[in-house]
């Protein structure tokens, strides 16, 4: 009886403490178009006027096929005082882009930026966000 109880307890503990393989939404930045060859050389620091290529990975397809992209600039010397809306765009995801979206943006102002991605299905919930710097 003790062996069966121990085995059941071990399986229960392994089930709840094991790591999951679930892919989470994320944003990858690079200074060149993101391909399979340069996907390991990603960066979050860019120069003013340089193209900032980004790849948004969406593991669950968005039902409405519209995504909102928002870039916010952090204001203030210690990057905690305020925020300024820098860029906003609504993109329509094509059939081949149901699990990803890639594009680029050019920013000329130095600062700290946060990119947020929303779905039209639930525009108040952030799907993913990432921070980058223009120095």
- Give the tens place of pLDDT for each residue, 74-125: 887 665 667 889 999 999 998 888 888 999 999 999 999 999 999 988 888 9
Residue ranges of domains in the chain: 22-134
| Cα separation, 59 vs 15, whole angstroms | 23
Q: How far apart are CA 97 and CA 114, in angstroms?
A: 23
Query: Which tens digits make up the pLDDT trace of 20-68?
Result: 666 788 999 999 998 888 878 889 999 999 999 999 998 888 888 899 9
Please, are residues 41 and 69 in contact by the beta-carbon 8 Å criterion?
no
3-state helix, strand, coil in the chain (%, to 5): 15, 45, 40
pTM over 0.85: no
Pairwise CA distance, residues 135 & 133, whole Å: 6
The yes/no answer on whether domain 22-134 falls in CATH 2.60.40.1930 is: yes
């Amino acid at each position: 009886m003790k062996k069966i109880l121990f085995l059941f307890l071990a399986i229960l503990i392994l089930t709840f403490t094991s790591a999951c393989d679930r892919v989470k939404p994320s944003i990858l930045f690079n200074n060149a178009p993101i391909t399979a060859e340069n996907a390991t050389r990603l960066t979050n620091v860019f120069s003013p006027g340089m193209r900032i290529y980004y790849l948004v990975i969406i593991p669950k397809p968005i039902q409405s096929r519209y995504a909102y992209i928002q870039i916010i600039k952090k204001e203030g010397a210690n990057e905690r005082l305020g925020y300024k809306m820098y860029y906003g765009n609504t993109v329509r995801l094509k059939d081949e882009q149901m699990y990803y979206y890639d594009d680029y943006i050019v920013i000329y102002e130095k600062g700290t930026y946060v990119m947020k991605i929303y779905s039209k299905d639930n525009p108040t919930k952030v799907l993913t966000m990432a921070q980058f710097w223009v120095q």
